[in-house]
Every structure is written in C-alpha cells, then in structure tokens.
Amino acid sequence: MRDGDVDGWESSSKTMTNGKISVVGLGHVGLVTALGLAEIGWTVVGTDSDPKKLAAIREGKCPFFEPGLQQLLVKHLDSRRFVPNGNLADSISATSVVFICVGTPQKESGEADLSQLDHVARAIAEHSDGNLLLVEKSTAPVTSARWIARTVQQYSRDGVKVNVACNPEFLREGTAVNDFLHPDRIVLGVDCDETRDTLLKIYEPIDCPKLVTDLNTAELIKHSANAFLSTKISFINMVADLCEATGADVTKVAEGMGLDPRIGRAYLGAGIGFGGYCFPKDIRAFVHIGESHRVDMSLLKAAEQINLKRVDRFLEKLRARVWVLRGKTIGILGLAFKAGTDDVRESPALAVVRQLHSQGAILRLYDPQAMDAVRQALPEEPGRLEYVKSPYEVAKQADAVLLLTEWPEFANLDLAKLRDSMRLPVIGDGRNLLDPAAVRVAGIDYFSLGRP
C-alpha cells in the first residue's frame, strides 16, 4: 500500500533532519519536482486534491505526457522514495519541508488567482505544529511568499510561525526532467540562514550556480525571466513582419543577431506566437503587478499585443491563397502549444483550429501527442472535424495543410506524397520549420512567417 504509507519509507534514502519532504500539487511542476527530488536521493510524499490524478499516479501512470517522467514515476514508486498521498493533513504533519506547487491560474482581469495558495496556507495553519519550511514553487506575484507566511500565522490556533522560501522553477514542458536535474541555475529566495542552509542541502546533489536572494527578488526573477523570453519572441515576430514587407529573411536576421553572445539565438524563433500555461498568463500577471505598483508596463503590453495578432496574420495569408474558408478542407499538423508536450493550454495551434472551425472550414487534425487533450474540447464531427492517424491522412483532399507545432517528424515529411493526396498543393508553415526551397521544388505553394 503506497497511499499514506508514511511510516514505511526506506531508511536508505535521505530525509530531512526531522522529517521528509512533501510536494503539494502534482501537476507539470509538482510531479516533476517530486520525482526530481526523489531522483537526487530524497524521500518525498506527493499530494494532490484531484483523486483521479492521484489514482493514476498511484498506479504508475503519468497523468500527462512529459518525456522521461513516466520512467521516473515507476522507478520511484518502486524505490519507495516517492509516496503519493491523498491526505494533505497527513503529508504536512509527516514532513518538515513542503514544496507548494499548486496552480496560479489567471482571472478575467489578467491578475493571478491565488486562491489555491491561500487554501494550502490555511490547511498548513490547521495541521502544522510550526516546525516547517514552506517553499513556494508556484509562479506567484511578488510578495506572495510573505503572504503565505502571514496567512499561516493568522489562521493557526497557537500563532504558529513557519519559515518560507521562494524557489522558482524554470522547467520547460517537454524537457522538464532534464531541466530539473541539470538546471542552468537554482534561485533560492530566503529570509533567514536556516532556510538557506536547508535548501542548499536539498539541492546539494545538483551542480549548478545557486543564487541566494531575498523573497521578493526571487519572485521577481521568475516573472522577469518569463516576461523577457516572451518579449524576445514578440520582438522577432515584429521583425518577421518587417522582413515580409521588405523581402528579407527573419531566420537569417535571428541567426545574425543570435551570434552576438549578448543576444543569443534562443527564443528568436518567429511564428504564430507563444502559448502554453506559462508565458501568456505570466506576462498578463506581471503587467497587473507592475501597474498595481504604478510602474509603466507598456513594453510588456506591446509584447502581448504582438502575440495576440499572430494567428490572424497567419490566417490572412491562408485566405490570400484559398479565398473563402467555408467548405474548404484544411489539414492541421500539430495541436500542442509546442513540440514535446500534449499540452494545448493557450495553444496558438488551437486558436487557428477554432477560427477555421467557426468559419466553416472542414478540418482534418493530427498531432503525435495532443489529440486526446483536444478531443475533449473539440469533439469529432463527422464530415466537419476529424482526427486522423498520420500526417499523410491530414493531406487527403485538402485545399491546404497548416503546420502549427514544430514536431521534428513534420520536418521530414515526404513532400511529394503529401502533395499527391492534396486537392490544392498549399502548405502554410506557422513555425518556419520546413525549408522553403525544398517545398517549392516539390511543387507546393508555400507560405511561412517572415521569410521570402
């Protein structure tokens, strides 16, 4: 029995001086954190409020696709260094360090919804005896860690005091396991030496620069990093528009800029824009935080606006080739917000699909990982919206094929085979993945973003 088996943990694994580590919230961040900590030798109890998710985890089934995570899950259920537990009170009372990894979704206003953090803080107040370090891993607005500490203190019967820390995550979906085990830095926001020493001990097995700061600085590092990377993408997308207007090639501009080590080539990939659970919500939350402190955040507002227009710009190019969309068959290659994941939250690919669907196009969809996730939101409609099993089926009698996620397998398609099954040989590449010359040699009318 694994659930709740807190007394049976292996004595060979590392434990904190007076307990174990627990992770609250087993989503993309929490499950990777829990299993990553187990992998570096700690014993971890993981809690989640979703009984279905927890049941799958207990059976050794990773509830989402993340390369390498399934193997780690099975490995550490077996090693008993990872113990799923449905009872938050149990987990808290049996541990001395709690990593809080619950969601901070966005409200209508763009502000982060912190109710899950508040809920965990109040539960901790109820169940802890006070000898606890709370580590905020969830991405939350600056000053949230202080609020967590204050809330625990306010709600605990005996005025229990806990230590808090902010240890932001920089995990990318698709490479999260590697990012956890081989990070480029670990940021530790702390307010006392004891907390700093505990966290440095936990991360001792990981060799990378460790930056120790105060709490607010650590929170700002996380939001600033995501906002900067989003802005870099919007910057290159703006340049892509200028390249189109002047016949220049944005991939070469990015290469030429990126060779300057002060700039770097990463996150200069032009296309249909950034999506996912993090960048879009974090940039809005950051704007909200800044404006609540009367800071001019117009730079980030512009970056967001540029991003919002990418899908429309791409669809304009499609219309310039096939004219009316109603009744046209459009094949879709890729639904995930990026390659390497089955996540479709705020996916620009899905935004394209929804627009085409609302305009009466007939859609044939394929993604190597994300079809199940999309099926729930967009159920199959025979003759109008179908999920198919291969990229070549997507092209069957299509008036155009749109490549929307940069899955490596799409880079090596047999273009002649694709062309032969299409009604009109038109390919729109929203990720600038294909070689324009090769596609044109195959006799296909090709468009991408920012390339001549």
**Residue positions annotated with a catalytic role:** 278
Q: Does the footprint of ligand UGA cover residue 173 (CB under 6 A)?
A: yes
Q: Exposed (0-12), middle (13-18) or buried (19+): which is 298, by Cβ within 10 Å?
A: exposed
For 43-66, b where at least 16 C-beta lie within 10 A, e where not — what string? bbbbbbbeeebbebbbeeebbbbb
Least CB distance from residue 242 to ligand UGA, whole Å? Answer: 17
Q: Does the footprint of ligand UGA cover residue 99 (CB under 6 A)?
A: no
439, two tokens: 């596609």
Strand partners, 83: 45
Least CB distance from residue 117 to ligand UGA, whole Å? Answer: 15
Q: List, as one string, the DSSP characters of 20-81.
A: EEEEE--SHHHHHHHHHHHHTTB-EEEE-S-HHHHHHHHTT--SS--TTHHHHHHHHHHTTS
- Of 82, 99, 279, 410, the residue at the interface with ligand UGA (CB under 6 A) is 279
Candidates 48-56, 169-177, 207-215, 387-395: pick the segment binding ligand UGA (CB under 6 A): 169-177
Least CB distance from residue 346 to ligand UGA, whole Å? Answer: 8
- Of 58, 81, 284, 338, the residue at the interface with ligand UGA (CB under 6 A) is 338
Map tokens 């600033």 to a residue: 224
Cα radius of gyration rounded to whole Å, the chain: 24
Q: Does the footprint of ligand UGA cover residue 170 (CB under 6 A)?
A: yes
Residue nearer to ligand UGA on the CB measure, 36 or 273: 273
**Distance between first and last Cα of the chain:** 61
384, two tokens: 């109008």
Least CB distance from residue 217 to ligand UGA, whole Å? Answer: 17
Q: Does the footprint of ligand UGA cover residue 36 (CB under 6 A)?
A: no
Residues 92 and 124 sit within 8 Å (Cβ to Cβ): yes
Least CB distance from residue 129 to ligand UGA, whole Å? Answer: 32
Give, as ranges, the residues between 228 and 257 that touch ligand UGA (CB under 6 A): 229, 233
Give, as ranges, the residues between 126 and 145 that touch ligand UGA (CB under 6 A): 139
Q: Does the footprint of ligand UGA cover residue 271 (CB under 6 A)?
A: yes
Least CB distance from residue 292 to ligand UGA, whole Å? Answer: 20
- Strands, E assignment, 125-180: 133-136, 163-166
- Of 100, 162, 164, 278, the residue at the interface with ligand UGA (CB under 6 A) is 278
Q: Does the footprint of ligand UGA cover residue 169 (CB under 6 A)?
A: yes
What is the C-alpha separation between 280 and 303, in angstroms, rounded? 10
Residue nearer to ligand UGA on the CB measure, 125 or 433: 433
Q: Does the footprint of ligand UGA cover residue 172 (CB under 6 A)?
A: yes
Residues 434 and 403 sit within 8 Å (Cβ to Cβ): yes
Residues lying near ligand UGA in the complex (CB under 6 A) are found at: 139, 169-173, 226, 229, 233, 267-269, 271, 273-276, 278-279, 337-338
